[in-house]
Structures are given as structure tokens and as C-alpha cells.
Amino acid sequence: MKITAIETIHLARGITVHAGPVQWLWVRVHTDAGIVGLGETYPRPETEKQVVLGALAPLLLGRDPSQIDRLWAGMFEAIAYSGWAGAEMRAISAIDIALWDIAGKVANQPIYKLLGGASRDSIRTYNTCYDNFSFLTQPVELARSLYDSGIRAMKIWPFDPVAKRTHGQFITAHQMREGAEPLRLIKQEFGDRMDVAMEFHGYWNLTSAQQIARAMEPYEPMWLEEMLPQDNLAAYRELSLSTRLPLCLSERLMTRWQFRELLEIRAARFIMPDICWCGGISEAKKIATMAETYYLPVCPHNCGGPILHYASAHLAANLPNLFILESVRKHYLEEYVGVVPDPLAAVDGAIPLPPGPGLGVELSPEVFRRPDITIDKVSL
């Protein structure tokens, strides 16, 4: 079997997250056997598309898609020669997901079985709160709606408005109370029946992060996520030593080599790779296994499109050291509808095991009939 074409699919319709509009790029790897693998990355489709079609497709055409590790190494070697960065790794990630999809279809098995089989019957999930309820103005109502649906963990980022006003360089006592209020109200109402993770999006300097971490300790959040930018892991080590709360990072690190430093410096208590950014399913599995040698749990970042959602579910189904999988209720109940036939929604607080073969999902036929779609292809 040989790769005969690499195709990119860009839907102009995007979604809005905390940082603004985001769009997904889907990648399809075609073979001479008629089997097509599907992958995804985000959030800069035009940039990622140029890497996929211009830099990586010539390396892949005519090659055996079953040689996943060999192809990954070849792609990485080619881009590393001139210096790799975000767009390059996001492009490799999308292709890697597609290659695993092909492998599963050839074997007629879901990807999680090829990774070593299921480690659980369903996947515990928490909700990242892009919801109709605002965690800033209706935190208790939001938590109650999640609790009633069976979800027992959620993630909010109430300190972001403060960080945007102060550029993360200071926080006053009044602002501290402002940022803590949603967490305080949820904990007052639900106690330990609802776990609450705190996201900070890397907005804070070390001194402010230490102050916030100390102020959060009485509320016992599930973790403190991405309090600092990810470029200075020694600063994260200092932060971790100044609080008894666990740190979670880093969705923005890429490849096993960057995660190696994070693990060796012992700053994080939860490890969070993003399959669409870190290097794909192949690399996420390696990172998780590395974390396992440090007795650290993994909680994959899963805040992209529907193909990432499926890929993350396969990885989460397999990993022995999974802690919990992120998901976004607004995504699988609204944003994914019409893009894929089954959005793989949470049921009673858990994501079901994805069906397979391969990823077990394809883009809906109506996606290809939309006027705002752009399809490009490079072929043999």
C-alpha cells in the first residue's frame, strides 16, 4: 500500500474561544488501496496547510503509510533541519493522526486497540466551560447544569479578566477576591461534589502566580493550569515549590524532548499534551509513557475540533495513567453537529469508547457541499 495523495480541508466557519476565533484544518491521507486516513490540527489553517502540502506531502507520497514511526521521524528530521516550531509540529500531528486512522482501518480495529487495548470501559471527563452559562456571572447555575448531566469536574478561568487589565504583572487584594469568587461560590454550593480546575492561560508573572496559588489553597481546586508562559520551566519549578496545590501543564509543549525537561524538573503533577500540537497520537503516547515512569497522571488537552476529540478518546481509552479527559459540552452538543455524524457526547459524565475501525469517524458528506470550504490536494 502506498500514499497517493495528501489533501487539506479548511472550513471557514470557526468557533470562538477565550483567545478569539479558531478554525480547524482537516488532513486526509489517500492510498492506492482506497483507504483514506483523517487527521486534524488547529488554530491557524492557512499556515498549517502550507506546511502540510509544501513541506511534508513530498516526503510522504509513494511511501508505505503503515510505517508510522519511520514517517514521523522523516518528517521531523526534514523540518528540524531549518528549525521546527508550532506550525510544523501541528502539521506533523495532523498527518500522524491520519496515519493511525489508516492503520486501524487496515486492521479493522479501533486505534486504542492498536495502542495496547482499553484500560477502562468509559472515559471520565471534565467540562471546559464555554457554555451558555457564564462562570463569571452564573457559576453556581453552570455547575448545577453540569452536575445534573453527570459531570463532576469543570474548568474555569476567572482570573483572566484581571490579567488582561494588569497584563499579569500585579494583582491587588480586591482583584484577588474578584478572581476567586466563582470558585468560592461553586465550592460553597457543592463542596467536594464538584472538582474545579483553574486555568490561567499563561498570563501571569511568577510573583503574581505565587500570590494567586496561595490564595487558592483554601478552596482546594483540582489543579492550577498554565499559570506562567511555558518558556521557563525553572520558574515553574519555583512556583511548584511555593504551593501545595498541584500544577498542570503544558498543552503548548511539543514533542517528547520538551516534555522530557518538564518531567525532569518535577514542576508538574498533571501532564497535559495536546495530540494536535505535540506531534500526534504517536508522540502523545510516548509522552504519556514517559510520564508514567515518573508516576505522573496524564490529562490530554482536548479543546479543538471533532477529530481531535475522537483521537483524544482513543488515547484516553488506552492510557493506564489517565487521570481525566478534557471535553467541551458546547462543542459536542453544538459545534460538532453537522460536521461529523456522531459527536461522541458525554453520557452520565463519561465519554464512551470510540467505535473504530481507525478513528471511527468521518466528516459528514454535507461538509463537502458547503460554500465556505476550501479543498487542496497534492498527488503522485
- Please answer whether residues 7 and 31 qualify as being in contact, where contact means their C-beta atoms are separated by less than 8 angstroms: no
Question: Which amino acid is present at 207?
Answer: T
pLDDT of 205 over the 90 cut: yes
- Please answer whether residues 97 and 283 qualify as being in contact, where contact means their C-beta atoms are separated by less than 8 angstroms: no
C-alpha cell at 25: 484544518
DSSP string, 267-329: --SEE--BHHHHTHHHHHHHHHHHHHHTT--B--B--S-HHHHHHHHHHHHH-TTB--EEE-H
Instruction: Please report the pLDDT score of residue 157 as a whole number.
Output: 97
CA distances from 132 to 142, 289, 329, 332 (A): 8, 37, 10, 14
Instruction: Please report the pLDDT score of residue 18 as a whole number.
Output: 66
Q: Which residue has the cell 511555558?
A: 230
Instruction: Please report the pLDDT score of residue 31 as a whole number.
Output: 98
Domains 3-108+365-379 and 113-352 share a fold: no
pLDDT of 219 over the 70 cut: yes
Look at the domain 3-108+365-379 and name its fold.
Enolase-like; domain 1 (3.30.390)
What number is the average pLDDT over the span 64-84? 90
| b/e per residue 30-46 (b: at least 16 CB within 10 A) | bbeeebbbbbbbbbebe
Look at the domain 113-352 and name its fold.
TIM Barrel (3.20.20)
pLDDT of 21 over the 80 cut: no
Instruction: Please report the pLDDT score of residue 167 as a whole number.
Output: 98
Higher pLDDT, 7 or 81: 7
Residue boundaries of the structural domains of the chain: 3-108+365-379, 113-352
User: pLDDT by residue (tens digit) across 107-119?
Assistant: 999 999 999 999 9
- Please answer whether residues 161 and 359 qualify as being in contact, where contact means their C-beta atoms are separated by less than 8 angstroms: no
The mean of the pLDDT values for the chain is 96
Share of the chain above pLDDT 70, in %: 98
- Please answer whether residues 276 and 304 qualify as being in contact, where contact means their C-beta atoms are separated by less than 8 angstroms: yes
What number is the average pLDDT over the span 123-141? 93
Number of Cβ atoms within 10 Å of the Cβ of 192: 8
The Cα–Cα gap between 253 and 161 comes to: 24
Full-prediction pTM beyond 0.85? yes
Instruction: Please report the pLDDT score of residue 19 as a whole number.
Output: 61
Q: Is the dihedral of CA 285, 290, 295, 300 positive or negative?
A: negative
